[in-house]
Amino acid sequence: MALFLEQVGLEAERRGPREWGVRIPTAMRGAIGVGIEAGERTVTMRAFFLRGPDRGHEEVYRRLLRRHLDTRHWRFALDDVGDLYLVADVPLAGLDPDGLDGLLGALSALVDETYEGVVRAGFDVPEGALLGPPPP
């Protein structure tokens, strides 16, 4: 996996014997951290998307569950406190650098497509306020 990450051009932080962390750029949210764990047969990737919504929970969850119909590998999940994550489990067999690059690119695209709508549905955002990545 470390070789794949290097071939894709990502700086990976080693977190354990079979675990890495990378940062993937997105246009709407800024860089998103992704934890990657290589199991015996499966690679699991997990990325924090957004803290739990303050309001409009049903609308937020409906939007995210609806996206599952259109996504192949990535799915939205929430933890015990309601924070939102994106998770992918893919077979290790057959995964190559191009496949890994495609999965991480799909994550970036999915974040860009869903972030603003979820933030506006789940938080008090003044009308007309522009959303985007935090300043550098």
Q: What is the pLDDT along the chain (136 residues), one digit of tens a residue?
A: 888 998 999 999 999 999 999 999 999 999 999 999 999 999 999 999 999 999 999 999 999 999 999 998 999 999 999 999 999 999 999 899 999 999 999 999 999 999 999 999 999 998 888 888 877 7
- CA torsion 7→13→16→18, rounded to 10°? -20
DSSP label at residue 114: H
Q: Rounded to an integer, what distance in angstroms lies between the CA atom of residue 71 and that of residue 77?
A: 13
In one-letter notation, the amino acid at residue 135 is P
pTM, two decimals, is 0.92
What is the CATH class of 2-122?
Answer: alpha beta
Task: Please name the residues in contact with 9: beta carbons below 8 A apart, sequence gap of 6 or more.
Answer: none
Q: Rounded to an integer, what distance in angstroms lies between the CA atom of residue 84 and that of residue 47?
A: 9
The ranges assigned to domains in the chain are 2-122
Residue 95, pLDDT score: 94
> How far is residue 57 from each of residues 77, 93, 106, 120, measured CA to CA in Å?
13, 38, 25, 11
In one-letter notation, the amino acid at residue 13 is E
Residue 127, pLDDT score: 87
The tokens describing 119, both together, are 């933030």
Which one, of 12, 37, 34, 17, lies nearest residue 25 by Cα?
Answer: 34
